[in-house]
Amino acid sequence: KGVCLEEFAPFGVIGAILPSTHPVETMANNTMIMVAGGNTVVFNAHPGAKKVSAYALQVYHKAVVAGGFPANIFSCVRNPTIESANVMFTHPDVSLLSITGGPGVVKSAMASNKKVIAAGPGNPPVLVDETADLDHAAECIIKGGSFDNNVLCIAEKEVFVVESVYDKFLSAMVKAGAVKLDSVAFGLLTEKAFVSDGKGHHAVNRDLVGRSASHIADLVKVNVPEGTKMLFAETDLNNIFVQEEQMMPVMPIVKVKDFRQGLEYCLQAEHGYRHTALIHSKDMGRITEFARAMNTTIVVSNGYSNQGDGPDDGEAYMAFTIATPTGEGVTSPRNFCRIRRLSIAG
């Protein structure tokens, strides 16, 4: 009856928002996968990252032009603001929006009536059950949770440990090089780490985001060995360090009765962001149940968070735009293409 051809076609001009936490990596990755899809890109960086983003873009641009690409296939706003983002959101020549940032900017983009691929917030929980290799679990949590001082949205943010192995796990954390904060120091840090808006909501103190474990320890007058990568403390489910994405190398650890309660607590702490969750267990039935119940874009079992996003540490491709609210997952060039069908009848 004829021929039908489906091909991947570019959207055209993509408007992209860069985060303040890892703007250069996001720009590099977005540029590659969006241009690979045949598009051009205009970036509106977070105002707190505008200088490094503009510098990086010029380096990339020089390299791609030298490699044979046309000039200006990607560009950025010199002085990005909320107003310039809104212009981009509503501009008739921008066909697709790619948002890597917090819930506020995602909400604004969603109101644009354009197609949006959005990477929203995360608060990845870790569940450690009684079958886990505790030494390995501790090493993984420190390695993933301390990478770039915990600014990445995929990083381990809070840990729930089954009570029968709880004390052994705390010992494993110390053995692996983490330093435990007592209740007084952790209470003082909690007061410093979050800022209240006076309306019952709290935001992380930006002065502490991405700061080292030793810097944070100094704030609460705790001496730590040189090279310490992570601090940790015992707490409960309702502690703000558990419920909020803190983005610093401080790991709250909560005791749970059993796997079932641990799973319930993980669901509460993840807040339905559908971003990332981790489990340490040797029980495949539990791993499967955990993955299906959490229903996050990334689930890592018996490893550290970076292994869920990247060829060097995992088994797949990676991206810095992990589209959780809009469901595309770890994005690739295909996500930034339209599927165009040509039917030749007869």
How far apart CA 302 and CA 52 sit, in angstroms, is: 36
Q: What percent of the chain has pLDDT over 90?
A: 85
Phi then psi dihedrals of residue 101, to 5 deg:
180, -160
Q: Is the pTM of this model over 0.85?
A: yes
Residues 6+ apart with CB under 8 A from 86: 108
How far apart CA 28 and CA 33 sit, in angstroms, is: 9
Q: Which pLDDT score, from 0 to 100, does residue 93 have?
A: 96
- pLDDT per residue as tens digits for the range 176-219: 999 999 999 999 999 999 987 776 677 888 899 999 999 999 99
Residue 286 predicted with pLDDT over 70 = yes
Q: Which pLDDT score, from 0 to 100, does residue 95 have?
A: 95
What is the rounded average pLDDT of the residues 88-116?
A: 91
Dihedral over Cα of 211, 213, 218, 220: its sign: positive
- pLDDT per residue as tens digits for the range 288-338: 999 999 999 999 999 999 999 987 766 778 899 999 989 999 999 999 999
Q: Nearest-CA neighbor of 220 among 169, 175, 179?
A: 179
Structure tokens at 9: 């076609």
What is the rounded average pLDDT of the residues 257-280?
A: 97
How far apart CA 129 and CA 151 sit, in angstroms, is: 26
Q: Confidence class of residue 21 from pLDDT cuts 50, 70 and 90?
A: confident
Q: How far is CA 233 from CA 71, 120, 127, 258, in A?
A: 51, 27, 16, 20
How far apart CA 345 and CA 67 sit, in angstroms, is: 41
Residue for token pair 């990445």: 152
Q: What percent of the chain has pLDDT over 70?
A: 97
What Rg, from alpha-carbon coordinates, does the chain have?
A: 22
What is the rounded average pLDDT of the residues 86-108?
A: 91
Least confident stretch, 13-22, 102-111, 126-135, 241-250: 102-111
Q: Which pLDDT score, from 0 to 100, does residue 310 have?
A: 81
Residue 199: CB atoms within 10 A of its CB come to 6
Q: Which pLDDT score, from 0 to 100, does residue 61 have?
A: 95
- pLDDT per residue as tens digits for the range 28-57: 999 999 999 999 999 999 999 999 999 999
Q: Confidence class of residue 106 from pLDDT cuts 50, 70 and 90?
A: confident
21 alpha carbon, distance to own chain's centre: 10
Residue 83 predicted with pLDDT over 90 = yes
Q: How far is CA 156 from CA 120, 151, 299, in A?
A: 16, 10, 11
Q: Which pLDDT score, from 0 to 100, does residue 271 have?
A: 95
